[in-house]
């Protein structure tokens, strides 16, 4: 169901005029084009990026901006006003994209929709001489097209189209919900039923079955789920009393996860921690592992959920190994109580790892010292 308070919201009448919008966009383009190199912000050192890799953060920004622009255009074509808040949000995204540093040609090409919008806003009336800002944007677009023409095309992540269609159908439901109701009737209108059926058919049949193929797609899907709850007041993905499990499953099954390093992480530096602090941390991590083991029923049959739990269990296990390695490296404490707790932790970890000979050795050592 829709947010019952949505009808009570008053429309923001402070909508900028077309002249104001054109002036703002022109000023934005002018700043980008005319800024001298000495005024540019210093470029921070960054890790090398593959030439075909688009920054996930940039891709998510462009995707959200494109969806908002498409929504504005659809509203304008239908003769409806665009809210000032929505316009301000899109302009903020516009600025963020222009200020995002390109680390590769793919990053620069990802900004092409922004450049085309800038060029359209600088276009002169038919028969007039084109302005230099317009020619500058046209030059950028032409050169980008030339440089990327010979590059192999990278398949688009299908999740972006699925999210964009979900946004459109959400808006269609909102429009249908605002249709006038016949006097004395509380039954849904045929248009409302049709919009609702189309929405859920797409969500259940497409969106929640589309696996993101890029890191940017994973980010966009997670962000969309959070934004949908904030905007609509209800959870997009709810099944058998569980929330967002199908979305988590889609993200976990993304081929991007197969490219992640599978080696154990570097051990943290425990040198500054006391023996007591190490043993308290070990006890907390062991408790977390025990609780994690009891929670597997919640994702039984969910491939993605099981992979997330397995990865988290591995992480906790690595940390416990690192702590007991540090305790073993430091040797026997002088304090009898600390020595006993250290021995308990070492025996517990050796037992968890199936190192039974080490368990016997540690137990024998503890008995010999009366711990």
**How does pLDDT run across 205-261, given as a tens digit for each residue?**
999 999 998 888 888 898 998 899 888 888 888 877 778 888 888 888 888 766 545
Tell me how many helices (H) and strands (E) the chain has. 14, 2
pLDDT at site 263: 54
Number of Cβ within a 10 Å radius of residue 201: 11
pLDDT at site 17: 61
Does the pLDDT at position 364 exceed 70?
Answer: yes
Q: What angle do CA 293, 295, 298 make, to 5 degrees?
A: 140
Domain spans, the chain: 17-35+51-149, 159-179+188-258, 276-368
Q: Mind listing the pLDDT tens digit for each residue in 72-102?
A: 777 777 777 777 787 888 888 888 888 888 8
User: What is the gyration radius of the CA atoms in the chain, in angstroms?
Assistant: 29
Does the pLDDT at position 342 exceed 50?
Answer: yes
Q: Mind listing the pLDDT tens digit for each residue in 157-206?
A: 888 889 989 999 999 988 988 888 888 888 888 898 999 999 999 999 99
Output DSSP code: residue 298: G
Instruction: Give the side-chain half-sphere CA count within 13 A for 204.
Output: 8
pLDDT at site 265: 58
Q: What gap in Å lies between CA 334 and CA 19, rounded to an integer?
A: 79
Higher pLDDT, 63 or 307: 63
pLDDT at site 33: 40
Terminal-to-terminal C-alpha distance of the chain: 63
pTM greater than 0.85? no
Whether 304 contacts 255, CB under 8 Å:
no
Q: What angle do CA 210, 245, 239 make, to 5 degrees?
A: 95
């Amino acid at each position: 169901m829709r947010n019952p308070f949505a009808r009570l919201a008053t429309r923001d009448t402070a909508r900028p005029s077309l002249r104001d919008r054109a002036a703002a966009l022109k000023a934005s383009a002018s700043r980008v084009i005319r800024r001298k190199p000495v005024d540019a912000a210093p470029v921070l050192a960054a890790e090398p990026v593959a030439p075909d890799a688009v920054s996930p953060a940039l891709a998510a920004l462009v995707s959200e901006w494109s969806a908002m622009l498409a929504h504005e255009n659809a509203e304008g074509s239908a003769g409806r006003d665009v809210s000032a808040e929505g316009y301000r949000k899109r302009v903020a995204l516009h600025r963020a994209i222009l200020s995002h540093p390109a680390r590769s040609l793919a990053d620069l090409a990802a900004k092409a929709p922004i450049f085309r919008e800038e060029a359209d806003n600088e276009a002169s009336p038919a028969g007039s001489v084109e302005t230099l800002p317009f020619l500058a944007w046209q030059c950028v677009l032409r050169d980008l097209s030339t440089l990327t023409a010979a590059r192999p095309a990278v398949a688009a992540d299908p999740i972006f189209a699925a999210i964009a269609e979900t946004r459109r159908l959400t808006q269609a439901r909102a429009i249908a919900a605002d249709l006038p109701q016949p006097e004395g009737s509380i039954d849904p209108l045929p248009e409302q039923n049709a919009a609702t059926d189309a929405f859920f058919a797409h969500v259940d049949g497409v969106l929640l079955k589309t696996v993101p193929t890029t890191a940017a797609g994973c980010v966009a899907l997670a962000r969309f789920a959070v934004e949908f709850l904030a905007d609509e007041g209800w959870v997009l993905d709810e099944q058998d009393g569980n929330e967002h499990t199908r979305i988590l499953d889609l993200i976990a099954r993304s081929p991007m996860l197969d490219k992640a390093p599978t080696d154990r992480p570097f051990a943290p530096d425990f040198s500054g921690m006391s023996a007591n602090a190490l043993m308290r941390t070990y006890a907390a991590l062991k408790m977390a592992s025990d609780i994690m083991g009891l929670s597997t029923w919640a994702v039984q049959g969910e491939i993605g959920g099981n992979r997330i739990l397995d990865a988290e269990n591995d992480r906790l296990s690595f940390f416990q190994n690192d702590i007991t390695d540090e305790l073993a490296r430091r040797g026997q404490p002088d304090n009898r109580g600390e020595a006993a707790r250290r021995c308990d932790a070492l025996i517990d970890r050796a037992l968890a790892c199936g190192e039974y000979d080490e368990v016997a050795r540690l137990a024998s050592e503890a008995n010999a010292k009366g711990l």
